[in-house]
Amino acid sequence: MKLLFFFFLLGLTLAAQTLTRIFDSPLFYKNSTPLNNVFSGGHNNPEFQFIDVTGDGKKELFLLDSDGSVSYYVNEGTVSSPDYHLYAIPFQGIEFKDWFFFTDIDNDGDQDYFTGRGDNYIRFYRNTGSAAAPLFTKEIDTLRDLNGEPVFSESACNPVFTDVDADGDYDLISGNSSGSLSFIENTGSALNFQFTFRTTQWLNIIIIGGGSPSGLNDNRHGASSIDFADIDNDGDKDMIWGDFFSTSLYYLENNGTAASPSYFVKHSFYPSNSDSLITSGFNMPRFTDFDGDGDFDLIVSVLYDPSVPQSLIYYRNAGTPAVPDFRKVTEDYFSTVDFGIQSAPVFCDIDGDGDYDLFTGSANNPNGSIHYFENTGSRFSPLFQYRTDTFAGITGELTIVPSFADVDSDGDYDLVTGRFDGKLMFYRNTGTAQNPSFPAGQFLTETGNTDIDAGLYSRPFLFDYDSDGDIDIICGAFNGRFTLYRNDAGNFTSPFTKDITYFQNLDVGDNSSPFLFNLTGDEKPELITGNRAGSVLVFSNTGTVINPVWTPQPFNLPGGFAGSELSPWISDFDGDTDPDFIFGNYRGGLIFFRNDEILSAAEDFTVPEKFSVSAYPNPFNPGTKISFSLRESAGVRYFITNINGERIFQSDYMFMSNGTHTLPVDFAKLNAPSGIYIFTLTTGKATAQSKLVYIK
């Protein structure tokens, strides 16, 4: 029986685990092209800004995703050839809410910071450090105008601080859902800002959107995202405008002056060439000299639909500063691991080659699907190649969440999927361990032969909770609760027994995503789950396996909020004997936390002092069975080395009860030549070895 979980008997408290977020390892490829920043977590509807906040002459990139997570990219290339890599945000105490904008508001040579508050008001952080070593200190919780009234900026819009009247200081231009712009003038100075509200109908500009390439216009107006730049190099600032109901961009040319601007809509689809932007709508534009050639390039994100394939759309200016010609370079500048929305990762050796391949469920309209990365590397040096976005042709209405296990003990992995409607679908593998085949699935049933209904957005986890030799199902759902479906009949074609009491009505909010794993080595796995709020919750069982008592334990991911709807998978991904953590999330990517707490697997456990191992048959071709006995329960691990001492296989840690055990070993799967090998079994305090002779 194959179970897709791995026990690491570390004998440590949850709080003792040292987790480090990893952004760009191991290697992932799609269509033979390497992906970048693979553990970014994905990006959905990012609001963004390129800005040099560290004073090194190269612009950093900040992104605020729709789930409230913030990403900080550093240019490790050059000004003319940027190469952006994701880092943990080094600035403490800074908050991002609704929108954000960096600008040197006090003209002291470093970047200060404005952001929303969640209620259409504005916070201000002054940089009390320097250009090279910024320190952002919250100075104003509610920005107020000269009359003491709160400065209002609609949270759905992206405002801009820019000098629109050529008086040397930065004013605030903010969009309104009515299609107009508010003008809040800086009536202070470049050194000491003071804002004065002027109008909600600045220059009588109004954008009524809804246009499409076919020429249809349904006369709607909504939130906006704007930016200003002197696009035609005539000494005044032009404007570009993304409207909530527009699938493209509006270009408003300034035919006035820098001090007295006057705008007219020159283009309602922009760029005005064969590369004109067309998306699902509500586009956010930013002008920046991306390639350091002295003119403005155009970068765009899509704010309307979280499942769009675009991340940042990059248009390079192939023209001149005075006559720009924006040409699309890529619709997905990041090229990261991103499955759309609501990713749910599973690792499984689907092709029987001894390493873990990656699957992830996803959500999409009308159908979610299972994405598949094949591991063409090795167990602890993986190299993932993207194979398909619809594994085995399996889809589910809106969402799908996979879980694998060998439910029929035939040596290959079978599949159960959770669905948006709460039902569970079972796909038996009628192929082999090396060449799986999944014909049409069938709905799993519960007592009374009714289809299982675990609640909207069901998330199954396959697990033999009572160690009776068959696979049970633990299921999370949108309601934040957990349901155990006991496999009392011992097969997946008979009805399961629904048990809503096993998890004692635990409620973690919305979107529970269960994973059972022995983090502390007490022979009883903990329950680890994410939720919609982005928390990771851990519950230890202080009762028994059959009569559990679930007790919450402290557990915090480093670095603060990593994203909403975290979906955990836990295993030793780097071969250092401790559990690492990978999460799917609402943004549709993957987040990796490496566990740097390297401890003995047997620490704090009673293990047998002596034991022996034997192999039969021996010599053999292609497989043999290793037998051994344990006087007491223990955590065990085994290795196979050649006569040169080179390790050709390394197992995960496994918890085994006292008594006699048998481990099958198949050398055909190891692609090993004929020869003499050493099998080593260790409990951490005791080790036994046996010589193996493999003859092809």
3-state SS of 288-309 is ECCCCCCCCEEEEEECCCCCCC
pLDDT tens for residues 480-512? 999 999 999 989 999 999 999 999 999 999 999
Residues 155 and 213 in one domain: yes
Residue ranges, the chain, pLDDT below 50? 1-12, 16, 211-217, 598-609
The letter for the amino acid at 615 is: A
Task: Decide: helix, strand or coil at residue 377.
Answer: coil
User: Using CA atoms, how far apart are residues 608 and 684, in angstroms rounded to an integer?
Assistant: 10
Output Rg (C-alpha) for the chain, integer angstroms.
29
pLDDT of 658: 67
The verdict on residue 340 lying in a domain is no
Q: Which of 263, 297, 330 is the last residue of a domain?
A: 330
Residue with token string 């196979």: 640
What pLDDT score was predicted for residue 9?
A: 34
The answer to whether position 605 is within a domain reads no
- If you write DSSP's letter for every residue of 309-325 in order, what string do you get? S-S-EEEEE-S-SSS--
Task: Assess whether 581 and 617 both reside in one domain.
Answer: no
CA distance 121 to 437: 56
Are 142 and 190 members of one domain? yes
Of the CA atoms within 13 Å of residue 290, those in its CB half-sphere come to: 21
For residue 66, being part of any structural domain is answered with yes
Distance CA 149, CA 170 (A): 19
- Can you give the pLDDT at residue 683? 65
pLDDT at 214: 38
pLDDT of residue 210: 58
| Position 607 in a domain | no
φ, ψ of residue 314 to 5 degrees: the values are -110, 120
Grouping H, G, I as helix, E, B as strand and the rest as coil, residue 163 is: coil
CA 675 → CA 468, 642, 671, 695, distances in Å?
Answer: 38, 8, 12, 7
- Same domain? For 644 and 551 the reply is no
* Same domain for 311 and 362: no
Residues 325 and 366 in one domain: no
The CATH code of the domain that includes 571 is 2.115.10
Identify the pLDDT of residue 326: 98
Cα–Cα distance for residue pair 629/388, rounded to 1 Å: 44
679 in the same domain as 653 = yes
Cα–Cα distance between 39 and 37 in angstroms, integer? Answer: 6
Number of CB atoms found within 10 A of residue 119's CB: 12
Q: Are residues 667 and 561 in the same domain?
A: no
Inter-CA distances, 209 with 153, 242, 243, 441, Å: 20, 9, 6, 46
pLDDT at 16: 47
- Positive or negative, the CA dihedral 645, 648, 651, 657 is negative
Rounded distance, CA 150 to CA 607, Å? 67
Tell me if 301 is assigned to some domain: yes
| 131 and 218 co-located in one domain | yes
Number of domains the chain is built from: 3
Give SS3 for 426: strand
Last residue of a domain, one of 564, 595, 626: 595
Burial environment of residue 323 by CB neighbours within 10 A (0 to 12, 13 to 18, 19 or more): exposed
Position 392 in a domain: yes
Question: 54 near 134, Cβ under 8 Å?
Answer: yes
CB distance 12 to 599 below 8 Å: yes
Residue 186: what residue type? N
Domain boundary among 533, 567, 595: 595
Q: CATH number of the domain that 630 lies in?
A: 2.60.40.2550
Domain limits at 558? 351-595
211 token code pair: 């246009």
Parallel, antiparallel or unpaired: strands 383-388 and 27-30: parallel
> Running DSSP on this structure, what letter comes out for residue 354?
S
Residue 39, domain member (yes or no): yes
Q: What is the pLDDT of residue 638?
A: 85
Q: Does residue 23 fall inside a structural domain?
A: no
Query: Residue 613: its pLDDT value, please?
Result: 86
Query: Is 567 found in the same domain as 421?
Result: yes
258 class by beta-carbon count within 10 Å (0-12 exposed, 13-18 middle, 19+ buried): middle
Same domain, 358 and 288: no
Task: Return the C-alpha torsion angle 127, 131, 133, 135, nearest 10.
Answer: 0
| Whether residue 147 sits in one domain with residue 68 | yes
